[in-house]
Structure 1
Amino acid sequence: RILKVKGVRIARAGEFSEQAFLNDKLDLAQAEAIADLIDATSEQAARSALKSLQGEFSHKINELVDSVIYLRTYVEAAIDFPDEEIDFLADGKIEAKLNEIIAQLASVRQEAKQGTILREGMKVVIAGKPNAGKSSLLNALAGREAAIVTDIAGTTRDVLREHIHIDGMPLHIIDTAGLREASDEVEKIGIKRAWDEIEQADHVLLMIDSHESQADNFQQEWAEFLSKLPKNIPVTVIRNKVDLTGETESLVQVDHFTVIRLSAQTKVGVDLLREHLKKSMGYQSSTEGGFIARRRHLVALETAAEHLARGHIQLTQFYAGELLAEELRMVQNALSEITGQLP
């Protein structure tokens, strides 16, 4: 009957969280953590989202903001009172405090990166020639027959996706059509989609058949492929089918490439790959977990770090207190965007 009272209505989705934010009971990072807790796909992600909801991430950001405000006040006082006997800009305290904030921010950025991995996962694309064992590797990582595997080259013609976890880290594993010169129209479409996925990947696994005569010269054999890849995408070379060549599982560095020898069929060496994927993202598994973070948080933290770096240059190279104060103001603005509390 209460719903029949004039002015009473059903709350909109998320309205209680909205009201909590508008009435300063939650900041923006905490409000976002509610959705992250609901959407968590692993126990560790849920724990991390709960920590953000309880204010752990916000507390670290507020500590940074307080440090920046303190330093900014100190710098502006030095500018406003230039006739004082003590030269505050040259006494070393400002640079020491600035270096302390830079180190503090670097630590928070590292934790936020971990939190982003927990929330969004890492997109790993398996690429290579037809019949190199890409689908077998997808199945080995997934722990089930997610993809059809045959000896016929070109079996996979479309993109296959599988969502897995490695010690709490979510991975989006994507199997793609074999890369080759194709005449079949359907296969051409599959290869185009493969390239679309490769160009958006966080990590590419380049599958090579160890039986091939050019397996040792992969940089020459795959020169065109490697030249097309965006420079910021790491590539791990997978030398597959060691069960047929007599090689043992291994992980070695060849120039700036990591090369892993394994067998997707027998799963020998697959654990090496799992550990490598964790380390390549800087992921550290933890029973406690840190806070959850979003991509926008990383962008804001990166912006703050850039302004701090510029501020350090203004102080140490140009002795420009006014410009340092402005950079600190920009740092404060960037950090405040995370919690939604305008300076």
Structure 2
Amino acid sequence: MTNVSLTEIKKSYGAVPLFENLNLEIASGEFVVFVGPSGSGKSTLLRMIAGLESVTDGVIEIDGEDVTYEEPSDRGIAMVFQNYALYPHMDVYGNIAFNLRLAKISKDEIHTRVMEAARILRLEDLLKRSPAQLSGGQRQRVAIGRAIVRKPKVFLFDEPLSNLDAALRTQMRLEIETLHREIGATMIYVTHDQTEAMTLADRIVALDYGEIQQVGTPDELYNTPSNTFVAGFIGSPKANFLKGLVQSATENTAIVHVDGAASGAIEVKAENLKPGDHVQLGVRPEEFNLSLGALDESLVLMGHVETADRLGNITYAYVNAGLADLITVQTFQNRKIKAGEEVTLSVAQNRIDVFNPDGIRCSPAKT
């Protein structure tokens, strides 16, 4: 297994910088997902590791070896793209074996590797089919098989599931997760889909405009986001943000008046705040309690339901509480929530994330 190290990476397009002094360590056998919106630099970062994109400055090491200026073929990597790039005139066996034949590996070794990859990916019964006879998910498995047989040090995935429909994406996520457990290789995966990131990753690297916003496990990014970007990007639906004004503060506690709150000021755990600071309070949709009557909780808001999306046992209610944005509430209540219904929302103060005027988290982990 192989570690990947990025040290003081810089990347500029002319006078326009994308990455400045980026540092990242990926451990051997780790599954790391780069996630972020379009333009965040996640694919560029992956392509620099692969050698498909040049580095302006800095050092890339794979398995302790400096590969910053090595050719892609000399880095010990295999890359899987969203475009399967299969040869239509070859069957599945031929597609998987193609790069091995170019490398003049013996026929016996090629056969052994192809059959092992086919076993792992459950392609044994499809080896004689042409790409035109395969589903999208099967084609993607063939593309992954072509990477497996090369026995790379590192697997790189560039949004490999974006061309698949929802059902196939779910199936392929499970298959990629199983593949990682079985072969234990170091894998780096790029996606804009935070659901893929949350379900696949050992650790997530959240990127925005060429900067790493947070690195951590899926639970860490979800429960203790480092800033408002991470809180708003990770999670579906995203966190709600309420505006607040600090009325008084001690070293670890602040009294905050929340815009639109029916309960007045609340006490929150937060460091390094001072009276007069404008803060944002982040509340996940599932943290709100929703009721038709009064609730005795720390933070209380009142409003009416604009609309509600019922998804089987879960309902997402979008509540107008007189704020700039609707508040999203997740509820498991069996009764149907109706548009126009007057509701009361409440949340315990230990379930609230507090972000300082610069959007940086200043509250401890939720209890």
| Structure (1 or 2) with the greater strand fraction | 2
TM range (shorter): under 0.3
| Structure (1 or 2) with the greater helix fraction | 1
* Bigger Cα Rg: 1
Task: Give the structure-2-normalised TM-score.
Answer: 0.22
